[in-house]
Structure formats: structure tokens, C-alpha cells
Amino acid sequence: MDMVDVIIHINESVDHDRRTAIADMIRNHTGVMGVAHHDEKPHLLIVEYNPAEVHSKDLLQVALDQGVHAQLVGF
């Protein structure tokens, strides 16, 4: 199984609880192995996933569906 990471940048300043809720929604998506976020870098979510099961744009859409503006970093 191949695993890759993608960074999702959230434009808004969201508090820890809201970031956790967004991370949980992404984590529950098929193919996602983990999501990390840190208070020191509150705009970033690091998502580890299997690209054979899910596309990075689908993961971005999960964040967008939570009412934030976001984009993939490095794409």
C-alpha cells in the first residue's frame, strides 16, 4: 500500500476545536490514515492517505465542506 502526504492550508484563523473537527471529518474519509495539526501552525493540516483509494482534491473538498476556504499546498 502506497501512502503519501498532502498539506491543506486553511485561509481562516480557526481555533483548536474547529481544526480538530475538520481533521476528524477528513480522518473519517476512506483511504485516510491520519491527519495532524498543530497549534503552532494553525492554518495547516497534514493528511496521510492512500492515493489508490482517495484523491487529494477529494480531501480538500471535505475541508471546504466544513465552511472554510482552503487549498492544497504545492499543487
- pLDDT tens for each residue of 2-60: 899 999 999 999 999 999 999 999 999 999 999 999 999 999 999 999 999 999 999 99
The full DSSP string for 34-55 is EEEEETTEEEEEEEEE-TTT--
Query: What's the pTM value of the predicted model, to 2 decimals?
Result: 0.92
Task: Give the CATH class of 4-72.
Answer: alpha beta
d(CA 40, CA 73): 17
Domain range annotation of the chain: 4-72
d(CA 12, CA 4): 25
Residue 67 phi, psi dihedral angles, 5° rounding: 90, 20
